[in-house]
Amino acid sequence: MLLITGTRPGVPLPGLVFENSHAIGADYRANRLSVLTGQYPQRGATTRVDDILADLEIIELEEITECPPLDQVVCCAELTGRFSIYWPGVAESGVCNELTSLIDIAPTLIAIAGGDVRPNSPLSFDGLNLVPVMRHGASGHGALFFDDGRVLGPHGYLDQARAADEWGFWQQMIAQQGPLM
C-alpha cells in the first residue's frame, strides 16, 4: 500500500478522484497531520496511519510529477484538498463528488487493509471510512468544520447562526475527547 502526498500540478490523479474533497487545516503542516492521523488538527493526534499499517509506504513530495506503478492500493493526496484512491478491482477510475476531506484517507486505507474502523472501535477517527462510498455509492460527510468557524455541508456553507451552533458543539466535543488514539 502506498500513500503519496504533495501537489500535482497538471498530472492526472490515478484511480477514483474525490473532487469535492477539502483540506480542513489552516496550513500545509495541519493538512499533512490530518492525512496521516485521520483526525482534525485541533486534537493534537500523534498516532499516524503508518504506526498502524506496517506495510504502508509513505512518500512525501513537494511536487508529484508522475504516477507510480498501479500494482497495489495507491492514494495520492494533494495537501490542498483533492485526493484519489486507486484500489485494484474496486476503484480504478472515475470521479466521486461526495463531500470528503483529507481526514478520510487514514481510516479508508486502514479499512482497505482489513482494520476495524467502525465508530467506537479501538481505532477511532474523525474521518470517514470511504470504502462504502467507493463500493456502494454511500454518502460522504454531513459537514466539515474549519478553523475559522465555517461549516461546510453537502450543499454549501451553513449560515452564520447555524454554523455557530454546530461549531460550538463540535469544539466542546473536541475539548472533552482530545486525541482519539
For residue range 56-87, list pLDDT tens digits in order: 988 877 666 666 677 888 888 888 888 999 99
Name the pTM for this structure: 0.86
20: pLDDT strictly greater than 90: yes
Please give the residue that has the higher pLDDT: either 44 or 138: 138
Please report the pLDDT score of residue 66 as a whole number.
67
The answer to whether 53 and 123 have CB atoms below 8 angstroms apart is no
159-176 average pLDDT score: 75
Do 95 and 39 form a contact (C-beta atoms < 8 A)?
A: no
- At residue 21 the predicted structure's pLDDT band, cuts being 50, 70 and 90, is very high
Question: How does DSSP classify residue 33?
Answer: H
pLDDT at 179: 58
| pLDDT over 90 at 107, yes or no | yes
Q: What string of DSSP letters covers 73-124?
A: -EEEEETTS-EEEEBTTTBSS-EE-S-EEGGGHHHHHHHHTT---STTSSS-
Q: Is the pLDDT of residue 130 over 90?
A: yes
**Backbone phi and psi for residue 60, each to the nearest 5 degrees, phi listed first:** -110, 120
